[in-house]
Amino acid sequence: MRASRSRSPGRSKSPSRQKAQKGEKGGCAWVAVVLVLAFLWIATIEMRGFGPASQGQLEQEQRLRRRGDESGLRQTFVEGDDGVVEKPRDGLIAAGEIEERIGRPRDQPAPPLPCNEAGNAAWNKGVVSPPKKKRRVVPPVVDAFRKGFVDWHELIPTHSSLWERYGESGDGKFNFMKLVMKETMVTDFLTQYKESGLARIYGTDHGPLANYSSCNMLDDACAIHAKRTCDLDSLCFWDGSLCQSVEKHPHRSGPWLRCAEPQMINDRGSFRRVQNTSTCDRFVHEKALVVSVDGEASEMFYHWWRFFRGVFGYVKNKYEEKRIHFLIRSSTNTQFFHYFGLLSNSCWRRAKTQIPARTCFCDVDPEKTALKRGSEGSDAILIRYLVNQLGLTNQPEPTRIRVGLVSRRRKRFILNELELVDACLDLGLDVQVLPLEEMTLYEQLAALRAVTILVGIHGSGLNNAIFLRRGSVLVQLLPYKLNYKGAFQSNAMRAGVEYKEWALKDPKLSRFHWEFLGERELRNGRDAYLAKGSPNSGPEVYTFWINQDIIVPVDEFKNLIVDAIRSSPLNRNIANQMRWKAP
């Protein structure tokens, strides 16, 4: 505002000048009011903890800096013990630091289901969008593990049977499964699975299979039912508040609704015809199928999918309703058995131990009483069925390029996994760390249907590419000189998914586990053995060669992702919509 000119005392003001001065005084008053209100608003925000740091926070930060300087270390990470935001330093970054990447008020705990701006939908859990965010410090041994300086096998204690890594076979021969088994606690610590927040994000959302997920957890398989489905299960009854097994209340059992040619389960877990129906205390009228799951199908997803595809083709061609009892004759691992919940409302049961005594089955297919692994059916039909049963038919089409990074939990690690996450963010892409082994079926399909580029080291998890949308890309990362590539390319192409692969060229970027080999293989030395490369099959391939832990050069990884985008119709279209350009 300009300063007013001096005037003589006797000089009078003009009417127009008087009005102007009144307007100026009124404007100053309004400005003062606005400034006061702004001051009060800022003070309120600071009191609530969303404004600039308080004096206590600044003093806390100064104390933390002094503590670091006194110990000879510069402050390196985002969230220290005192919750102070620090400056990051290269090399000590926790893999999958989801909650720190997404960001949150420093006085609040991490949300249970972090997601991006699209909301809390299952397919957005754990998604990280640019820009990069700072992370917290990790223990020195974890840092050494990520840099490939330590063989994690050497960190496993041998002082108790709980930690026994090498098991003895009954006949004293080589035992592959016990040899490659990794100890959960050690690998979870080294990968910072719990500390990173991944353990809080995944493994809890079962979607429509929420009830069925407890089948192997509860003593009574009937307890999963609500009243409606309880009344449809001949092995269960509703007691007024809970569904229970008929064997818990003998007075509820009786030979009603008899059938002409019933069958019972024998000691071997197979059906046998009943000669005298008086031996039956109850009759089950739903379809009953005895299922034999071999060791490979129960341990590896590739073999499980082939098995379940055969079961699906057999069941859906004959029985549309989900009133089926799957009776498992033998199995060593139940990790995939929740798939049965897509075909039946009743829990799968162990044929030898979970069928009430004197139970007779009326509807047993005489043509095929034991289902084994097969190749019947179509992947496309089965996947559409899965998507429908899991309630994911309305999942929106991807609008951003999203890289899904398969994060293995027990073996075959990508040691610089978090650097690859950062590389995707540098490219302006969304990225999602996928610990498939720990995710529920619902979480897996929801995430994979939103991923447009799936990346992972060689392993059975890459077969999940069959769940990707058509036009997506599968990228296989091959360890050093591994000549066995599996069937991932053909499986991906059959699903309409593009296939890319990258092979590690520098043996210095691989951590080899030499204990998998004996004196015969290493008689000419380690360098000579590596120079030959892997055979196409055999024990050496499935133990030593595929179980390398690798470091992927970041520049090569970026080029690989850019090439995947350019070669994929789906990603090219999304890139145009995003106006994305390769750097």
Q: Looking at residue 475, what is its pLDDT?
A: 97
Beta strand 324-330 with 498-503 is: unpaired
Report DSSP state, residue 400.
Answer: S
Both structure tokens of 283? 């009759």
The 10s digit of each residue's pLDDT in 461-500 is: 899 999 999 999 999 999 999 999 888 998 899 899 999 9
Listed residue (414, 460, 457) closest to 301, CA to CA: 460
Helix (H, G, I), strand (E, B) or coil at 244: strand
Cβ proximity of 448 and 467 under 8 Å: yes
Listed residue (95, 92, 152) closest to 407, CA to CA: 95
Alpha helices in 317-414 (DSSP H): 379-389
Q: Looking at residue 127, what is its pLDDT?
A: 82
The 10s digit of each residue's pLDDT in 504-534 is: 999 999 999 998 898 889 999 999 999 999 9
Q: Residues 378-394: what's their mean pLDDT?
A: 90
Q: What is the mean pLDDT of the chain?
A: 77
The 10s digit of each residue's pLDDT in 43-61 is: 554 444 334 444 444 454 4
Q: Residues 251-271: what's their mean pLDDT?
A: 76
Residue 90: C-alpha distances to residues 113, 416, 549 (Å): 28, 12, 21
At residue 21, does pLDDT exceed 60?
Answer: no
pLDDT band for position 199 (cuts 50, 70, 90)? confident
Q: Looking at residue 276, what is its pLDDT?
A: 86
**Crossing angle between the packed helical segments 301-316 and 379-389, to the nearest 10 degrees:** 80
Q: Looking at residue 282, what is its pLDDT?
A: 86
DSSP codes of every residue in 178-193:
HHH---HHHHHHHTTT
**Assessment of whether the complete model's pTM goes beyond 0.95:** no
Alpha-carbon span 489 to 73, nearest angstrom = 48
Q: Looking at residue 531, what is its pLDDT?
A: 92
At residue 568, does pLDDT exceed 50?
Answer: yes
At residue 269, does pLDDT exceed 50?
Answer: yes
Q: Looking at residue 582, what is its pLDDT?
A: 84
At residue 567, does pLDDT exceed 50?
Answer: yes
Query: Exposed, middle or buried, 211 (CB in 10 Å: 0-12/13-18/19+)?
Result: middle
Task: Determine phi and psi for 105, rounding to 5 degrees.
Answer: -55, 135
The 10s digit of each residue's pLDDT in 155-180 is: 876 544 444 444 444 444 444 445 44
At residue 321, does pLDDT exceed 80?
Answer: no
Q: Ranked by mean pLDDT, which of 90-99, 332-341, 468-477 comes out on top?
A: 468-477
At residue 320, does pLDDT exceed 80?
Answer: no
Contacts of 251 (CB under 8 A, 6+ apart): none
Q: Looking at residue 280, what is its pLDDT?
A: 87
pLDDT band for position 39 (cuts 50, 70, 90)? low
The 10s digit of each residue's pLDDT in 61-74 is: 444 444 444 333 33
Q: Looking at residue 81, what is its pLDDT?
A: 32
Q: Tell me the CA end-to-end span of the chain in Å, nearest whole number.
A: 50
Q: Residues 126-147: what's their mean pLDDT?
A: 81
At residue 20, does pLDDT exceed 50?
Answer: no
Query: Exposed, middle or buried, 466 (CB in 10 Å: 0-12/13-18/19+)?
Result: buried
List the single range of 33-37, 216-220, 557-561 with lowest mean pLDDT: 33-37
Listed residue (196, 507, 224) closest to 340, CA to CA: 224
Q: Looking at residue 156, what is its pLDDT?
A: 73
Report DSSP state, residue 152.
Answer: G
pLDDT band for position 387 (cuts 50, 70, 90)? very high
Q: Looking at residue 162, what is its pLDDT?
A: 43
At residue 451, does pLDDT exceed 70?
Answer: yes
Query: Exposed, middle or buried, 379 (CB in 10 Å: 0-12/13-18/19+)?
Result: middle
At residue 84, does pLDDT exceed 60?
Answer: no
Listed residue (434, 472, 469, 443) closest to 121, CA to CA: 443
Report DSSP state, residue 13.
Answer: P
At residue 132, does pLDDT exceed 60?
Answer: yes
Listed residue (365, 364, 307, 380) closest to 340, CA to CA: 307
Q: Looking at residue 410, what is its pLDDT?
A: 82
Maximum distance among all alpha carbons in the chain?
132
